[in-house]
């Protein structure tokens, strides 16, 4: 079997992110920015620049721009880079102009989104680079921050990964917890096929070679090798011999991802892309004008 899945690269539409941004602004601003309102004249304008303080991959420029638009539509936001681009330390990624109170009000929420999403894109890009030149695709998971899944999975796309399972509704993944209750891989697969339409992807997780044999006997189209070592993956690939697409998950780091790719995996899914990514450092500087 060949891998046909490709990354989705389109930007986020405003209507998919406005509710998230408005919730964040409500959390941070509340009834108002009492400091800025006290010390900054209402008619003061300023210019600002957003600076990246370390190397990485940017994600969240579109989100940050929307933050300032929702705070005050008079704020002009001039992005100097696009989501998915690599940036270096001390690089200016955006300039903005407009009402000073509004710029200060949106600063922290905008930076929080930019730092978090760029951190995800940056760590994702390291995994993608590690498997460059192989057939293997890097997948994200559902191990996301509650309420931020659409943004975080957007960030993994900007880092070069492929989105996998936006939720429980878009694919079947029979895991060990299902098997503990369903009783057998064969029974679970047959039930899944009976309940699913032809266009629903069906995956089954296996934790050893015995379960792998059972999944293959039931013609599982896609198999997830959970917590297999590289050597075990190679052994599994000798058994599978092209009869199913193969995903590997568990224990994969950026420094060993290529070994798993060369062992034969079609996909490597990595929860750490979203649940453990370190924020990329950005700051904003402002001057009056």
Closest Cα to residue 282, out of 155, 148, 93? 93
Active-site residue 226, yes or no? yes
Catalytic residue among 80, 143, 234, 243: 143
Active-site residue 143, yes or no? yes
Catalytic residue among 47, 53, 80, 108: 108
pLDDT band at 288 (very low <50, low <70, confident <90, very high): very high
Task: Delimit the domains of the chain by residue range.
Answer: 14-127+277-288, 132-275
Across 242-246, average pLDDT: 96
278: left (phi > 0), else alpha (psi -120 to 50), else beta? beta
Active-site residue 165, yes or no? no
Give the predicted TM-score (pTM) of the model. Answer: 0.93
Per-residue pLDDT, 14: 66
Fold of 14-127+277-288: Aldehyde Oxidoreductase; domain 3 (3.90.1170)
What are the structure tokens assigned to 112, written together?
A: 């929080």
What are the structure tokens assigned to 284, written together?
A: 């904003």
pLDDT band at 289 (very low <50, low <70, confident <90, very high): confident
Longest dimension (CA), the chain: 73
Catalytic residue among 33, 83, 140, 205: 205
In this structure, how many other beta carbons lie within 10 angstroms of the beta carbon of residue 108? 16
Catalytic residue among 49, 129, 175, 193: 175
pLDDT band at 143 (very low <50, low <70, confident <90, very high): very high
Q: Is the pLDDT of residue 195 over 50?
A: yes
Per-residue pLDDT, 2: 36
Choosing among 3.90.550.10, 3.40.50.300, 2.30.40.10, 3.20.20.70, the CATH entry for 132-275 is 3.20.20.70
Q: Is the pLDDT of residue 1 over 90?
A: no
């Amino acid at each position: 079997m060949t891998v046909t899945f490709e990354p989705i690269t389109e930007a986020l539409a405003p209507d998919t992110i406005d509710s998230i941004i408005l919730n964040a602004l409500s959390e941070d601003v509340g009834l108002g920015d009492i400091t800025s309102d006290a010390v900054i004249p209402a008619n003061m304008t300023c210019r600002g620049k957003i600076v990246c303080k370390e190397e990485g991959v940017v994600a969240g420029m579109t989100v940050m721009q929307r933050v300032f638009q929702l705070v005050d539509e008079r704020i002009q936001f001039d992005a100097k880079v696009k989501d998915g681009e690599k940036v270096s330390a001390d690089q200016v990624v955006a300039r903005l102009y407009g009402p000073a109170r509004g710029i200060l009000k949106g600063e922290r929420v905008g930076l929080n989104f930019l730092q978090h999403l760029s951190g995800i894109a940056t760590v994702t890009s390291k995994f993608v680079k590690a498997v460059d030149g192989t057939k293997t695709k890097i997948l994200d998971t559902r191990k996301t921050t509650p309420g931020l899944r659409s943004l975080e999975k957007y960030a993994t796309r900007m880092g070069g990964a492929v989105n996998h399972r936006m939720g429980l509704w878009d694919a079947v993944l029979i895991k060990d917890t299902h098997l503990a209750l369903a009783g057998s891989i064969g029974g679970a697969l047959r039930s899944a096929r009976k309940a699913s339409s032809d266009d629903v992807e069906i995956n089954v997780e296996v934790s050893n070679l015995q379960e792998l044999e059972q999944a293959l006997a039931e013609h599982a189209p896609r198999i997830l090798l959970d917590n297999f070592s590289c050597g075990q993956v190679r052994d599994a690939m000798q058994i599978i011999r092209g009869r199913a697409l193969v995903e590997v998950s568990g224990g994969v780091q950026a420094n060993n991802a290529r070994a798993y790719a060369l062992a034969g995996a079609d996909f490597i899914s990595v929860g750490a892309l979203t649940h453990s990514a370190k924020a990329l450092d950005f700051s904003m500087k402002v001057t009056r004008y």
